[in-house]
Each structure stands twice: as structure tokens, then as C-alpha cells.
Amino acid sequence: MDLLIRDAQLDDAEAILAILNPIIEVGAYTVLTTPFSVEAEREFILHFPQRGIFHVAVCRHKQEIVGFQNIEPFATYNTSAFDHVGVIGTYVSLLCRRQGIGRSLFNATFEAARCKGYEKLFAYVRADNTAALATYLSQGFRIIGTAQRHAKINGRYVDEIMIERAL
């Protein structure tokens, strides 16, 4: 797939939610449980941390956003001890998986993260989301532990795998 990776813009909110909300509604890939409104997503984009990175993947042929990835600072409270650590999240349209979108996002996001002074990326991945875990591992992340019974979704506990990658 021929992709353009660019920074998310306020006008992308609806297209981002066209990816995120169906993933939330499936209930199998994320610990997010409540779909977002367009207004809430616009606020999220508008107030995204200055040191953050928020990329969208645009299919050039369709001129349609097919995935997105973001990094937020690990800690925003009164310490600089974690300034080198970012928390990463990756979402690809349910209709467009396994087409290189994630790989393209990772390439652009890793470079942007280095430029913003990040040295390490961290994430939680649902233990039952084996495809996402495999994707992160293929990008150089390593498993550092399991947070057991970390999320409770619809009355069912879900473990989360903690992963990290040095940049």
C-alpha cells in the first residue's frame, strides 16, 4: 500500500475515530471500552503534548486515513527522570491489517521520537492480542513482564504484556 505518514491534524478526528471506535467496539484488541466522540478526539488532538508524536497513515490511492500511531511522554508530573521515555500506541483499520501500515508508521515514529529526545519506548499490549504483540516484537520491542489481571472488561480479567524498545 502506498502510504503518506504525516502529523495528525484537527480535521483528522473523524477519520481517526472511524478506525479507533470499531476497534473499541470489537472488544478484543484494546483495553479502551467506550467509543469516543468527534469533539473528544478533537480536544485530544488540540491538547496533545508538545513533546508528543501523533502520526496518521494516509492511503495515497484512496486519500483515506488507514492507521495512526502516537507517543506521549511517560510522565508529566514534576520530574525529569522519565523525559527519555515515551508511551506508544498503534492502531490500524480493521479492514487494512497486514498491509505494511504498522511498519510504515513505526519507521516514521521512531525517527520522530529520536528527534524529540526519546531514548526508549514503552507499551502495554493485551495478552490475548497476539497479532499486535507479534507486530511490536518484529519492530524490536521486547517483553519485560506481564501485568496479570490488569484490566477488567465486561467482567473478565485481561492480562497485559509490558514491552519496551530502546531507540
Residue 149's pLDDT is what? Answer: 96
Residue 28's pLDDT is what? Answer: 86
For helices 13-26 and 38-46, give the axis angle rounded to 10 degrees. Answer: 120
Residue 166's pLDDT is what? Answer: 98
- The parent domain of residue 138 ranges over 3-166
The Cα 151–Cα 4 span in angstroms is 34
Chain center to CA of 98: 16
Contact between residue 40 and residue 105 where contact means Cβ atoms under 8 Å apart = no
Residue 78's pLDDT is what? Answer: 82
For 74-111, write each residue's pLDDT tens digit: 988 888 999 999 999 999 999 999 889 999 999 999 99
Nearest residue to 150 (alpha-carbon basis) of 166, 129, 121? 129
Q: Residue 57 maps to which CATH number?
A: 3.40.630.30
Q: What is the domain count for the chain?
A: 1
Query: Would you write out the chain's pLDDT as a tens digit for each of its 167 residues?
Result: 899 999 999 999 999 999 999 999 998 899 999 999 999 999 999 999 999 999 999 999 999 999 999 999 998 888 899 999 999 999 999 999 988 999 999 999 999 999 999 999 999 999 999 999 999 999 999 999 999 999 999 899 999 999 999 99
The pTM for the full model equals 0.94
In sequence order, the β-bridge partners of residue 165 are 121
Q: What are phi and psi of 12, to 5 degrees?
A: -85, -5
